[in-house]
Structure 1
Amino acid sequence: MENVKVVIWGIGAMGSGVAKTLLKKKGVDIVGAIDIGDKVGKPLFEVLGEEFPEKENIKVGTVEEYIKPEYADIVVLCTDSFVESSFDKIKKIIENKMNVISSAEEMAYPKAQSPELTEQLDQLAKENDVTVLGTGINPGHIMDLLVLVMTGALVDVKQITSRRVNSLSPFGPAVMEEQGIGISVEEFEERKAAGKMSGHVGFAESVQMMADALGVELEHFETGMEAIVTDVDRKSPYGEAKAGSVAGVAMTAKGMVNGEEFFTMDHPQQIEPEQVGIDTGDYVIIDGTPKVNMVNSPEIEGGLGTIAMLVNMIPKVINSEAGVVTMIDLPIPHAILGDFREQIKENKKIVK
């Protein structure tokens, strides 16, 4: 069997991490890398700042160069956070008969907020016999899938609290902008009032995913957002917050079932939390039979976790039935330490 062939669309913080990870794996080749601006035309290794002996050093190119019929088995799309903004890109990939893994947070459970666009993508994917998945560390794993896995050992569930205290430092400029890193408190409040402050993207997707998986009806859902203001200067690789400005966002959400708060989501995230003595961590607290109180500290680093999920789900997406799928539709994620080709069902390969 030939190596699994991958195109990476978006060579920013996440896309670069995916590329570096795949270049160290067996049985998989990067056959295309897409970006814009001054990266186009440069050798991929130059953009990554690292050499990979015995691996092909392709150039970073354009959509027209690498998104064409059956050019690769799968495209890893690392460009957007929202279904609407990623729709045309995903549609183009599907029409060229390649599978898709997207890092867009809303794509983790796209029907939660974009049911009509999801239906269009699902129909198109089935017509072209390819699969589309959105995933990452959150949503896609820590605050939803991991919770569901833990409920598998319970005979009943009364209430779920999912908490993630994390660092935004590994993420790229797009996330810094979404979180308002470095802006004033006044600008934060203005953006928030105008509905232009994204904060964490994915609570609606995580909560709806869990509700559907558990078989409960979500009666009401709402989110909350407050600025995390730093009293010291902080600087991460892709963002900077001076003392008195916004260093992150404290996000909350709740989902009501049978008139009571069934889902509680708590997610303060900021750049360089360690500078102000904040310990990161992931927490799953379930009031059920038996009870669950799972703690992992420090957090699973968001950047590395997202990169790992995008890489490790590649075989499962290729093996899946056609259409738009989510993490609750596929086998559980796990690391791939051996040859990627051994993970692929021969009849599911596209590129021969």
Structure 2
Amino acid sequence: MRVVLWGFGAMGRSIAKALIEKGSFRLVGVVDRSPLLRGRDVGEALGGPPLGLRVEDDAGLIERMNPDVVLIATTSFVKDVLPQVELAVKAHSNVITIAEEMAYPFDTHPEESYYIDSLAKRYGVTVLGTGVNPGFVLDTLIIALTGVCSKVDKIVARRVNDLSPFGKTVMETQGVGKTPEEFEKGVKEGKIVGHIGFPQSIGMIARSLGWKISRIEEERRPIISKVYRETPTVKVEPGMVAGCEHSARAYVGNLCVIELHHPQQIHPHLEGVETGDYIEIYGDININLAIRPEIPGGKATAAIAVNMIPSVVKAEPGLKCMADLPIPRALLSDIKRSL
């Protein structure tokens, strides 16, 4: 199966490695606008032997290479990824993007969703947004767990993760290294955003369970460090911000039915915080799931993007979310068996 990868940053490289390791896919093109990457051999850029495939800055290669799937790892936002999705779809390629807002854009971006869905149906291809979160931990996994319940009253889920491996951009959007006053100012100005994906996860869960959400309330609070912490890109003194405690609550009328929490900080272990993914479902059956440590974000996002390829290729044309497709699973054998 022929695949083009659009975006060769940290996540793009992880996806490229996953594709190459599978052996069932043929990576026929890599697109990235960075002058530092242009012309580099993909294999050498990944720290391995040359593959005879070079990074190009011209997205026109998608039409030239005629891939079955274009994997897009360039941005988090619908407005930025829309032109890239449009180009790939018009080249008659299926699309998988790890843009967080594309995990379930139907409520937050209804006009763009309608356009992408109509375009994909016109060209006979499928478009999917996925990732570890949103796309799995705080939505798809929760939906699957409700399958053993006859009644669900409330869902509470929490993903506690370590930001230490991430770079400068992520640190800035989480407010790491700021004073508490700078953090509050950044939140008001929209520069500190915390987690991207709560409305998408809530929308996917609500649609799956038949809940009509009347409102969503979000809160972002600074995680103030009591100890010195340091990564290659940021230093945090005691009293400064080590991360962001981001939460969202969704209501049906005045009843809170979904609570999602996502505290993210650098080196949480320095203050005895254990990473993990936690899901509580309350109803006729109470479910309490704890995964320790956290499912690793980067590696898991690359894996689920690649693992969903057969399901996307087989799906009916249109814009889909993870709840529309078969349960995600690892591809451990020849993908021909999955098609």
**TM-score with structure 2 length normalisation?**
0.94
AA aligned to 1:34 is: V
State percent identity of aligned pairs. 41
Query: Which residue matches 2:30?
Result: 33
Deviation at 1:102, TM superposition (A): 0.6
Paired with 2:228 and 2:93, the residues of 1 have a C-alpha distance of 45
Q: 1:174 to 1:331 in 2, by over 3 A?
A: farther
Q: 1:12 aligns with which of 9, 18, 33?
A: 9
Please tell me whether the aligned partners of residues 172 and 192 of structure 2 are also in contact (alpha carbons under 8 angstroms): no
AA aligned to 1:72 is: P
Q: 5+ residue gaps in structure 1? A: 345-352
Q: Does 1:268 align with 2:266?
A: no
Deviations 1:27-49 (A, max 9, x none): 21111111122111010122112
Please tell me whether the aligned partners of residues 170 and 302 of structure 1 are also in contact (alpha carbons under 8 angstroms): no
Query: Which residue matches 1:155?
Result: 150
Paired with 1:171 and 1:338, the residues of 2 have a C-alpha distance of 32
Query: Which residue matches 1:257?
Result: 252
Query: Which residue matches 2:109?
Result: 114
Please tell me whether the aligned partners of residues 104 and 321 of structure 2 are also in contact (alpha carbons under 8 angstroms): yes
**SS of equivalent to 1:217:** coil
Deviation at 1:12, TM superposition (A): 1.2
Paired with 2:310 and 2:58, the residues of 1 have a C-alpha distance of 23
Query: Which residue matches 1:348?
Result: none
AA aligned to 1:264 is: E
**SS of equivalent to 1:38:** coil
Q: 5+ residue gaps in structure 2? A: none
**SS of equivalent to 1:110:** coil
Deviations 1:73-112 (A, max 9, x none): 1111111111111111111111111111111111000112
**TM-score with structure 1 length normalisation?**
0.91
Query: Which residue matches 1:124?
Result: 119
Q: 1:64 to 1:202 in 2, by over 3 A?
A: closer
Deviations 1:90-139 (A, max 9, x none): 11111111111111111000112101011111111111111110000111
Please tell me whether the aligned partners of residues 31 and 59 of structure 2 are also in contact (alpha carbons under 8 angstroms): no
Deviations 1:281-332 (A, max 9, x none): 1111011111101111111111111111111111111111111000010000
Q: 2:75 aligns with which of 67, 70, 80?
A: 80
- More displaced, 86-95 or 171-180? 171-180
- The CA RMSD over aligned residues, in Å, is 1.7
Q: 2:43 aligns with which of 39, 42, 45?
A: 45
> How many equivalent pairs are there?
337
Q: 2:325 aligns with which of 326, 330, 342?
A: 330
**SS of equivalent to 2:158:** strand
Please tell me whether the aligned partners of residues 70 and 97 of structure 1 are also in contact (alpha carbons under 8 angstroms): no
Query: Which residue matches 1:302?
Result: 297
AA aligned to 2:256 is: E
- More displaced, 217-226 or 269-278? 269-278
Q: 1:292 aligns with which of 278, 282, 287?
A: 287
Deviation at 1:217, TM superposition (A): 0.9
Query: Which residue matches 1:278?
Result: 273
Paired with 1:66 and 1:182, the residues of 2 have a C-alpha distance of 41
Q: 1:187 to 1:102 in 2, by over 3 A?
A: same
Paired with 2:313 and 2:251, the residues of 1 have a C-alpha distance of 36
Please tell me whether the aligned partners of residues 109 and 134 of structure 1 are also in contact (alpha carbons under 8 angstroms): yes
